[in-house]
Amino acid sequence: MTAQNSGFGTPAAPVAPVAPERVLPQAALADLAAVPATSRWVRSGALRLHVLDYGGDGVPLLVLPGITMPAVGMDFAVRELVGPYRPVVLDQRGRGLSDTGASYTLEDYAEDAEAVVAGLGLDRPVLVGHSLGARVAAAAAVRGKTPLGGTVLVDPPLSGPGRDPYPTTAAAFLGQLAEAQRGTDADEVARAWPRWPRPEQELRARWLASCGTEAVAATHRGFEAEDFFRWWPEVPAPAVFVRGADSPVVTAAGAAEAAAANPGAVYAEVPDAGHMVFWDNPPAALGALRDALRDLTR
């Protein structure tokens, strides 16, 4: 990944030796100064993975973001949990400051999550995943390679073989990524994500180009090729399934199917929210997450 020069002084040193199309401007790196977390690094096989560790003595949460969301994009939500909890947010492989992967299957992502738990010595963490991250949390929970305190799955893509396609096309994701790679701004981001708070639109404009093209494309292919329901029925309790009430990714019918497949889980909806639950309705989404975590950790 190349860190772009801000226009004065000497060019910034490379942040990490990853794919050349992944670019991070110095303005993006400066965002980390405002994040109340420590950058830490762990290895997953040959990959170096970056996490933001919010510290403290609370219940550890391993937070797994979505397909085009670096760890810093979750800051506005997870910082509100510090105290009772210790959020640790992963830059998924091929995103943020983590290395580019050779492949992007759910098993790959689950191995990364397990490596973070082991590398940081997290004691029975709760896995909290949004979108892609929710699918990863389900796979990691079923694999059972590390003891967990539970899982919270927020609007996991239910697409897969024989199912309706994921509602956002690969072309749409890659178009947004191309905009970021040539240089974008919050106004352009707002055309795709009009409901987001302005600071989060600005953050996305700076950070989206940290996501690799193949990471996004391969993961999107996985949304169609890998079946969420291979994993979900076997996710052990305690587990909470949260959806946006207006989500096109987890429709009411999809939520009913999920409830029938795993009746031991707790189900919740966030009103006035689509798939981007935390960004569409931050107060209600954070409230639902707090309720979910209380259900898991009381």
pLDDT number for residue 1: 53
Into how many domains does the chain fold? 1
pLDDT number for residue 20: 54
pLDDT number for residue 153: 98
**Domain coverage including residue 282:** 2-9+27-297
pLDDT number for residue 254: 97
DSSP 195: T
**173: number of Cβ within 10 Å:** 21
- Burial zone of 113 (CB within 10 Å; 0-12 exposed, 13-18 middle, 19+ buried): buried
Compute the half-sphere exposure of residue 187: CA atoms within 13 Å on the CB side of its CA. Answer: 0
Domain presence at residue 186: yes
CATH number for the domain harbouring residue 79:
3.40.50.1820
β-pairing, 59-64 with 150-154? unpaired
* Residue keyed to tokens 């290395």: 99
Domain presence at residue 21: no
Domain presence at residue 19: no
Domain presence at residue 18: no
Contacts of 141 (CB under 8 A, 6+ apart): 127, 148, 151, 231, 235, 236, 239
Domain presence at residue 277: yes
Domain presence at residue 15: no
Domain presence at residue 290: yes
The two tokens of residue 263 are 């009746």
SS3 assignment, position 278: helix
pLDDT number for residue 91: 98
Q: 10-residue block means of pLDDT along the chain (298 residues)?
A: 37 40 91 97 98 97 98 98 98 98 98 98 98 98 97 97 95 96 96 96 98 97 97 98 98 97 97 98 98 90
Across the chain, which distance is largest between two alpha carbons, in Å? 60
Domain presence at residue 262: yes
Which candidate, 273, 284, 292, 280, places its Cα nearest to that of 128?
Answer: 292
pLDDT per position as a tens digit, 195-250: 999 999 999 999 999 999 999 999 999 999 999 999 999 999 999 999 999 999 99
